Amino acid sequence: MKIRVYYGKQCPRCPAAKKVCKEVAEEKNIEYEEVDIEEHMIEALQKQIAATPSILLDDEVIFRGEIPTKEQLEKEVDKR
């Protein structure tokens, strides 16, 4: 399993989203990756990601344009 965060450098919500995702990934011992949406625009568009932050578990978008709480993210991880 992997948590992947698509972020924008100018996005005011992205630092908080990355922090929550990294924390959950470390606690659950799963992979974590940050992807700059500007540098990987084609990949983001292929996954229909236009809003930041967008958070994926494996290749499924679970949060788009919002900062999940730690509990919300843990619940999504635990479902899998």
Convert the pLDDT of each residue in 27-67 to its tens digit.
999 999 999 999 999 999 998 998 999 999 998 999 999 99
pTM of the model: 0.91
> Domains of the chain by range and CATH?
2-79 (3.40.30.10)
What is the 3-state secondary structure of the chain? CEEEEEECCCCCCHHHHHHHHHHHHHHHCCEEEEEECCCCHHHHHHCCCCCCCEEEECCEEEEECCCCCHHHHHHHHHHC
- Evaluate whether 76 touches 58 at the Cβ level (below 8 Å): no
Residue 5 pLDDT > 90 = yes
What is the CB neighbour count within 10 angstroms for residue 72? 16
